[in-house]
Structure 1
């Protein structure tokens, strides 16, 4: 072998070295990290998973894991289709003790805690009210319910405090309790699915379900950049760059609604009045926990421009942007540092939490 090499011309040796270098560069290029994307439907909305990695097999396994996790959660927690949550509602209506389904018990426990912290503005025990308004359907439609029907539910006053839980045994003191975790389940699902990805070894990813998301890590040397929809649901009003492990959730009156006699009725119902909450167009929050961010965005929307700071403080959320009916952006000091408005910014009011 040595004698053969000694007879190679300088040109041949250069060509051999160049070929070896090209092979090294090609292999390096194959191992360069990139964003792997997947899209599918879950929780009634478009879900997009972006994984930044050089490991294509890991990205594929991550995508399959998220699909499987979210599809299972959607079936188990669906409020108006047969499944564990539907069966739980049937048993709660009897008033008798029963063994709670393990797929829904952790959610109910946490939802009860968050309902209390929100002073009842997040009240998933009012599933009957959501159904009455026609929002327990894939395509909500009017007309709005009769005021007397709304009054009847309000007088029954179903709340999470009516649910007694002792270990795995559960019962309701109020037969009007009907659970609908729509303002919580998606956030909880996103949080749990991302935890599963981290256990698999995924370090940089973003899981976005209809604009609500959790992000970990970053795609290379830059952060994940998130667009916040304008209050009318058209276009992007602002951008937020994530930092490490964060959840960003928005509740808006443009998400689910129907028109009746020229008036729009949206799905974020105020449990105090039984009517769609007024005074707010959208609320965006940043938080470390996706389930709590989901709840907070809904509760602060209902609280409205005057009362949201106190509820935000109770929920432990310090990064909030509320757009009121006049288009004014109310921001906490911590949120002001994170939001970058696109185009002409709205009128901004900085509101410290109590």
Structure 2
């Protein structure tokens, strides 16, 4: 694939937020696309957090909408912008309404054959590594949540992304905090070999004015062959987010996923995750420990339904729940547009 085509593909993915985003305007080198999803998600045995379900169903449904824009400046330079918001429902079973849309992404930037530079609310550079295993329908993705500079949808982020040699995805990000001593940065790369094996490494760090400065190493490998996808990721570091009580701690997490898409449009997914926190001066405890089995049926490229069963291994003496975590059963129906 030519570098120009690769750059165009990266830009399209960057500003669309969905492979199905529809172009609704195109004139004089400027285009606008709209995409999103509507998704029913109901937990019928235990909540996804492991807490006990008192009633019949815990509603986790959501609606997302995004808008992406591209404008041609020169033959090799484009301007890009992207916005996405999400609305959830109240889970108490009442008829009360949630009128709030939560901002997920909002950024603008420039795109060229040399890469993209964007500024705003967006993912840190290391998120592309966590996404190598963040493919399970319900519960995956904890590896990007430990520290501020390595998380998704962070404010005040200046980011660069580029694709080289038809195989190497490089990203860098800088968290320019409005508060004193809270800046951060992240760097990552994924190299994909010709036979489908990807190898990813990343590092993130940020200052913390009220506790231990945060650092995180993350690595992952994945493999794709026809309908098969395998992913394995590991992260470790120290410190934590500024808004958590346990700021001075070590952490580590492992995440694995295996998926197979059958010709009949049915996909089977097996996921495993275990994450631990080791606070300074306190006992180590688990923040996640489960096996998850998911079945997905794709009616077409827009509509899918799924069932997920999570076997939760968190025990009262090893987690913050102070009780054995419940297993959970989630049913879902998702429409992408």
TM-score computed with the length of structure 1 as normaliser: 0.22
Which structure has more helix as a fraction of its residues?
A: 1
Larger radius of gyration: 1
Higher strand share: 2
- TM-score of the two chains, using structure 2 as the length reference: 0.23
